[in-house]
Amino acid sequence: MANILVVDDDPEIRAMVVQKLAAAGHTVRAEADGDAAMSAVEADTPDVVLVDWMLPGRSGIQVCEAVRERTDALVFILTARAQADDVRRGYEAGADGYIIKPFSPRELLRSIDDALAARSADRTAGDRTAGD
Contact 51, 76 (CB under 8 A): yes
- 43 assigned to some structural domain: yes
| CATH number of the domain where residue 30 is located | 3.40.50.2300
Q: Is the pLDDT of residue 128 over 90?
A: no
Give pLDDT tens digits for 73-89.
Answer: 999 999 999 999 999 99
Give the chain's mean pLDDT.
Answer: 94
Contact 1, 27 (CB under 8 A): yes
CA pair distance 92, 37, nearest whole angstrom:
20
**Among the listed ranges 60-69, 73-82, 122-131, which one has the minimum average pLDDT value?**
122-131
Name the nearest CA neighbour of 40 among 31, 27, 52. Answer: 31
pTM of the entire predicted model: 0.91
Contact 42, 68 (CB under 8 A): no
Instruction: Give me the domain span that covers residue 58.
Output: 3-125
- 132 assigned to some structural domain: no
Name the nearest CA neighbour of 4 among 98, 76, 97. Answer: 76
- The domain total for the chain is 1
CA pair distance 19, 99, nearest whole angstrom:
18
CA pair distance 132, 128, nearest whole angstrom:
7
Per-residue confidence (pLDDT) for residue 68, from 0 to 100: 95
- 130 assigned to some structural domain: no
- 91 assigned to some structural domain: yes
- 33 assigned to some structural domain: yes
- What is the number of residues in the chain? 132
